[in-house]
Amino acid sequence: MALRCALALLKDDAEGKDCVDRIGKRLHALSYHMRNYFWLDFQQLNDIYRYKTEEYSHTAVNKFNVIPDSIPDWIFDFMPTRGGYFIGNVSPARMDFRWFALANCIAILSSLATPEQSIAIMDLIESRWEELVGEMPLKICYPTIESHEWRIVTGCDPKNTRWSYHNGGSWPVLLWMLTAACIKTGRPQIARRAIDLAESRLLKDSWPEYYDGKLGRYVGKQARKYQTWSIAGYLVAKMMLEDPSHLGMISLEEDKQMKPAMKRSHSWTC
């Protein structure tokens, strides 16, 4: 999203041509990498489950040497037959399979996600409504990190215990990004359902910063009341749903030039 916005800012700047060329090359490489290696759906999960390891030539299918035994148990039940999403991270030997709401909404709005991937993300949200939305939209990530691992990953912040704050908490501010993604993919009924849920609680609970619990039922243990971005997120969501033309202010259409024929790397020796 940042790179595409930079391109738009530099479009009519004669002195910025060198930057435009560099950004274009980076966008092509980054989009290809994310769409191919960070995307997960039922078929891709099954392929990873069957990966062979220790493949080291240009013909390797398992390019990051992901160990199938590192796949967490929860993902097999969580992944629907229809649907998919961009995972948290890909690193040598393992992947972070967690769902991050902000990342997937921005992927849709920036058109990093292809039209097919955008639809699949919406399908996932509908199929796994209880897990990703629950009683208060929207889960910042899913699932939670438990045991002692949350202390390592989140820096021991006491707010980040299981299903709280940045560790599986529910954040009303994310409502506007969900709504924008729903409108862009032609699924406004999903946004309407989420807004109805938020309206049943936010005013009564004094507009908290975040909610805790697996379903987002409880006001967060250290949530600030009358949080500006919770109020703003709700208002923007309502305004976009009432007038979808506002979507153009925050959404970028697919760049047809982002689908060039892929060239072999300079390291190709055959």
Per-residue pLDDT of the chain (270 residues; tens, 9 = 90+): 999 999 989 988 888 888 999 999 999 999 999 999 999 999 999 999 999 988 777 788 888 889 999 999 999 999 999 999 999 999 888 899 999 999 999 999 999 999 999 999 999 999 999 999 999 999 999 999 988 888 888 778 889 999 999 999 999 999 999 999 999 999 999 999 999 999 999 999 999 999 999 999 999 999 999 999 999 999 999 999 999 999 999 999 887 666 544 443 333 343
pLDDT at 261: 42
pLDDT at 3: 94
Integer Cα distance of 114 and 120 in angstroms: 10
pTM for the full model? 0.91
Domain boundaries along the sequence of the chain:
1-249
pLDDT at 257: 64
pLDDT at 260: 45
Q: Per residue, what are the HEC states of 63-80?
A: CCCCCHHHCCCHHHHHCC
Q: What is the pLDDT of residues 171-228, one digit of tens each?
A: 999 999 999 999 999 999 999 999 999 999 999 999 999 999 999 999 999 999 999 9
pLDDT at 264: 38
- Give residue 138's identity as a one-letter amino acid code: L
pLDDT at 259: 57
Q: For strand 84-91 and strand 39-41, is the pairing parallel, antiparallel, or unpaired?
A: antiparallel
